[in-house]
Amino acid sequence: MLKICVGLLVLALTIPCYAMDPPKILKFKNNVVYDHEGHQGICNSCHDTIEGGNKISGFGKEWAHKNCIGCHTRVGNGPTACNDCHKNP
Binding site residues, ligand HEC, CB under 6 A = 1, 20, 22-23, 26, 28-30, 32, 34-36, 38-40, 42-43, 45-47, 52-53, 55-56, 59-61, 64-65, 67-69, 71-72, 75, 77-82, 84-86
Residue number with CB closer to ligand HEC (13 or 17)? 17
Amino acid at 29: K
Q: Give me the least distance between CB of 44 and ligand HEC, in Å please.
A: 8
CA distance 14 to 48: 30
Longest Cα–Cα distance in the chain: 40
Q: How far is the CB of 7 from ligand HEC (least distance, A)?
A: 11
Q: Which residues pair with 27 in a beta bridge?
A: 33
d(CA 25, CA 33): 7
Coil vs helix vs strand at 34: strand
Number of Cβ within a 10 Å radius of residue 68 = 19
Query: Residue 2 or residue 12: which is nearer to ligand HEC going by CB?
Result: 2
Q: Whose Cβ is closer to ligand HEC: residue 12's or residue 75's? A: 75
